[in-house]
């Protein structure tokens, strides 16, 4: 039986690559993003290459209750979502006292509120069917505090904690929840977060969105709860459990500082 994957932030980066993977497996798609023209081109490509159905929803999920609008549209189409992939998110770079509250508010709305509301709405249907898989894209940022990206790191800590908790609640219903935790990745995130000048990014060879998406897909299909991409990222994630948090935060501040 053909399954359906709903993917947010599907017009570029990891979301686009996850759309390609699901399409190649024969899954129908519901793609959600603000960039409708990019999604239209992707729809044409995937439907012609894989003979699947792709439904597009143009939506800015940083706006409150936009997640409910997405859910209502899916229900009106009478589509059952088997895979919910909350991928949409963005960050910002700079000292908290200097950054824009409007951008941070939108970040919290997208990274936390929309992700939680979409999960809340679709998981009720999954529980009724006793099946389903959810992937929430967190980050290695979830494991420690991040000076100069304070709000972003905090939102991803929420995503990780939330995902682990509901995985425990939902396991008896045959539903798995996976928190995908990539590190720095070759995607549009760097542009959106203004990270180019940080030591974290400057001159670094980053893994591709395609590589991270493939890793995340396998982790979700295997029912892994926390999936950290890359050996170095796993070490960094564990560092906050080994060393005092104060030391980890100090080191991270140096890594995130602007490159001279």
**Which residues participate in catalysis according to the annotation?**
152, 156
Say if CB 181 and CB 196 are below 8 A apart: no
Q: What angle do CA 185, 91, 195 make, to 5 degrees?
A: 60
Residues forming a β-bridge with 200? none
Helix (H, G, I), strand (E, B) or coil at 161: helix
> Which residues have C-beta within 8 Å of that of residue 237, sequence separation ≥ 6?
140, 142, 143, 181, 228
CA torsion, ordered 138, 175, 169, 227, to nearest 10 deg: -30
3 state SS for 65-79: CHHHHHHHHHHHCCC
What is the spatial distance between Cα 11 and Cα 232, in angstroms, rounded to a whole number?
28
């Amino acid at each position: 039986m053909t399954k359906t994957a709903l993917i947010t932030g599907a017009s570029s980066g990891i979301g686009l690559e996850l759309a390609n993977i699901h399409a190649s497996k024969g899954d129908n798609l519901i793609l959600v993003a603000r960039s409708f023209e990019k999604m239209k081109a992707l729809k044409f490509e995937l439907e012609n290459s894989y003979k699947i159905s792709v439904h597009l929803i143009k939506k800015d999920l940083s706006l409150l209750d936009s997640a409910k609008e997405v859910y209502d549209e899916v229900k009106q189409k009478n589509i059952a979502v088997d895979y919910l992939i909350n991928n949409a998110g963005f960050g910002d770079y700079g000292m908290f006292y200097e950054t824009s509250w409007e951008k941070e508010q939108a970040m919290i709305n997208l990274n936390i509120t929309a992700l939680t509301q979409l999960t809340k709405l679709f998981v009720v249907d999954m529980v009724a069917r006793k099946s389903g898989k959810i992937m929430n894209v967190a980050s290695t940022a979830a494991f420690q505090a991040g000076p100069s990206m304070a709000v972003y790191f905090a939102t991803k800590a929420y995503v990780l904690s939330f995902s682990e908790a509901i995985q425990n609640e939902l396991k008896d219903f045959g539903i798995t929840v996976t928190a995908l935790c990539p590190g720095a990745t070759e995607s549009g995130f760097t542009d959106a977060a203004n990270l180019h000048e940080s030591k974290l990014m400057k001159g670094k060879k980053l893994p591709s969105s395609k590589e991270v998406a493939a890793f995340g897909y396998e982790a979700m299909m295997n029912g892994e709860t926390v999936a950290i991409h890359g050996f170095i990222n796993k070490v960094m994630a564990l560092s906050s459990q080994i060393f005092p948090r104060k030391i980890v935060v100090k080191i991270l501040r140096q890594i995130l500082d602007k490159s001279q």
